[in-house]
């Protein structure tokens, strides 16, 4: 199916473990984003990517690593998970070269770090 | 830290009421403003992308205005319906792909 998907949808892990959240889009959109949603903060940008092999930090990048070897995939890795990284994570994609285009969001991944 | 503020945080109205809420953002270095509708258990979906001062956009009974000089955007819903119940998010874009979301206005429309 066309669209943007995230996996897993739910994840429980322990402090200190490495976790990778996957994001896949079928539109060949150039731009992809990772956000976290926390109470009182709305959506905060973690990282974004303008194209394969081009990534840049957002507002809250500490503790996260991204890669983008293929246009359609944009995994987010928590190298050593902490309780403060318990959140709902949304991936998004956007076509075109500028922010005049809307973003399309995935269904989200709810991550709990114990 | 860049603040994008939305007010009110939540709103409860009766079916048929018209309502409006505000997104406030810095008036400098404006690039674009997006409005998204976010239903519970779903993903945000774009309503409007606004780029020019004085922009007015409309989709059905929902409309939005933009004032970049004073740093605010209004979202209006005329004759709210229960299916309009959702959280409405605005995103201020400063510079290339620097998205800053507000925390949203949660609208509940009672039948």
Closest Cα in chain B, distance from residue A94 (Å): 10
pLDDT of residue B8: 95
pLDDT of residue A99: 60
pLDDT of residue B3: 85
Instruction: Give the max Cα distance, chain B.
Output: 42
User: Residue A105 and residue B93: Cβ atoms within 8 Å?
Assistant: no
pLDDT of residue B27: 86
pLDDT of residue B68: 94
pLDDT of residue A46: 94
Nearest to B6 by CA among A66, A113, A74, A43: A43
pLDDT of residue A100: 72
Among chain A residues, CA nearest to B45: A104
pLDDT of residue B41: 84
Among chain B residues, CA nearest to A104: B45
Which residues of chain A lie closer than 8 angstroms to B40, CB-CB? none
Which regions of chain B are under pLDDT 70?
1, 96-97
Say if B74 is an interface residue toward chain A (CB within 8 Å): no
pLDDT of residue A68: 95
User: B83 — phi, psi (to 5°)?
Assistant: -70, -10
In this structure, what DSSP letter does residue A26 have? S
pLDDT of residue A61: 95
pLDDT of residue B2: 76
- In angstroms, the CA B24 to CA A80 distance is 36
Report in angstroms the alpha-carbon separations of A112 from A12, A17, A90, A107, B19. 5, 12, 14, 16, 36
pLDDT of residue A1: 59
pLDDT of residue B97: 64
- Residue in B49, B98, B101 closest to A43 by CB: B101
Which residues of chain A lie closer than 8 angstroms to B103, CB-CB? 40-42
Report in angstroms the alpha-carbon separations of A79 from A56, B21, B73. 17, 40, 39
Say if A107 is an interface residue toward chain B (CB within 8 Å): yes
pLDDT of residue B69: 93
Which regions of chain A are under pLDDT 70?
1-2, 97-99
């Amino acid at each position: 199916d066309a669209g943007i998907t995230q996996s897993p949808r739910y994840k429980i892990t322990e402090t200190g473990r490495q976790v990778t959240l996957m994001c896949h889009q079928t539109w060949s959109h150039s731009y992809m984003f990772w956000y976290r949603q926390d109470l009182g903060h709305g959506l905060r940008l973690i990282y974004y990517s303008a194209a394969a092999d081009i990534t840049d930090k957002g507002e809250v990048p500490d503790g996260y690593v991204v890669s983008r070897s293929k246009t359609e995939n944009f995994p987010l890795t928590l190298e050593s998970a902490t309780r403060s990284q318990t959140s709902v994570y949304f991936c998004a994609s956007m076509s075109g070269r500028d922010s005049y285009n809307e973003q399309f969001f995935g269904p989200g991944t709810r991550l709990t770090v114990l | 830290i860049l603040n994008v503020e939305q007010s009110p945080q939540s709103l409860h109205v009766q079916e048929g009421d018209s309502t409006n809420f505000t997104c406030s953002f810095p008036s400098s270095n404006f690039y674009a403003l997006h409005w998204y509708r976010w239903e519970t258990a779903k993903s945000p979906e774009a309503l409007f992308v606004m780029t020019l001062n004085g922009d007015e956009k409309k989709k059905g009974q929902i409309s939005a205005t933009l004032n970049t000089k004073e740093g605010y955007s209004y979202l209006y819903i005329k004759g709210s319906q229960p299916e309009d119940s959702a959280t409405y998010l605005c995103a201020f874009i400063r510079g290339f792909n620097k998205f800053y979301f507000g925390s949203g206005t949660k609208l509940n429309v009672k039948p």
